[in-house]
Amino acid sequence: MELNERQKKIIEIVKEGAPVTGEQIAEKLHVTRATLRPDLAILTMAEFLDARPRVGYFYTGQTLSTLLSNQIRKMKVRNYQSLPVVVKESSSAYEAVCAMFLEDVGSLFIVNDQGLLSGVLSRKDLLRTAIGSQDMNHVPISMIMSRMPNITFCRSDDAVIDVAELLISREIDALPVVRAKGDGLEVVGRITKTNITKAFVELAGGTDE
């Protein structure tokens, strides 16, 4: 069977982004949903595409693994991030330990006087200080934190899988989620290995909780 140009384009769109809704295909092709209806009907009847109610169109020749990786690519940081725990650079190492316990987190994001991201402080940064001979009350965290511009961060619309790759390649546990503010970055969230583990469980259909 000979496909017309639009039908070929529809197949390309579905291959790339399955599952895709009719609405999304129409948007990409700059036509109305009604214009597409006959093409979608033909492609579904000829079994190029498979339509699942409330989910969208799949390309029938697509392997499970490409479907899964498409779905993983669509998972965005904004849907999995948690609230950030932010501490001022002038706080002491002792105060940072307290904040970690009280807030039950393993990484603190550090901000300067303007409230802009200036560093990250992890458990090991504090342990290193604790095994030194300094008094934790007198060590400012600005002295022991990892600092900008060497901070790895992400934005809410980044893909979760890209964050996961950064956590692995940089050997860290958490990234601040930021947005631009003035000439710096404002911390709006936190994404950690725990958030990504939850995303992984959700992908498999959720927990029994």
| Rounded CA Rg of the chain | 24
Going residue by residue from 99 to 118, which x/- string records binding to ligand ADP, judged by CB under 6 A? -------xx-----------
Is the CB of 20 or the CB of 117 nearer to ligand ADP?
117
Round to whole Å and give the CA distance between 15 and 26.
15
Q: Tell me phi and psi for residue 187, to 5 degrees.
A: -85, 120
Q: Least CB distance from residue 32 to ligand ADP, whole Å?
A: 45
22 binds ligand ADP, rule: CB under 6 A: no
Round to whole Å and give the CA distance between 52 and 63.
16
195 binds ligand ADP, rule: CB under 6 A: no
Listed residue (94, 139, 95, 96) closest to 120, CA to CA:
96
192 binds ligand ADP, rule: CB under 6 A: no
Q: Least CB distance from residue 159 to ligand ADP, whole Å?
A: 17
Sign, CA dihedral 188-193-199-201, equals negative
92 binds ligand ADP, rule: CB under 6 A: no
Subset of 135-174 contacting ligand ADP (CB under 6 A)? 146, 150-152, 171-174
Is the CB of 122 or the CB of 195 nearer to ligand ADP?
122
Residue 56: how many other CB atoms lie within 10 Å: 19
125 binds ligand ADP, rule: CB under 6 A: yes
Round to whole Å and give the CA distance between 103 and 108.
10
Q: Which residues bind ligand ADP (CB under 6 A)?
A: 106-107, 120-125, 146, 150-152, 171-175
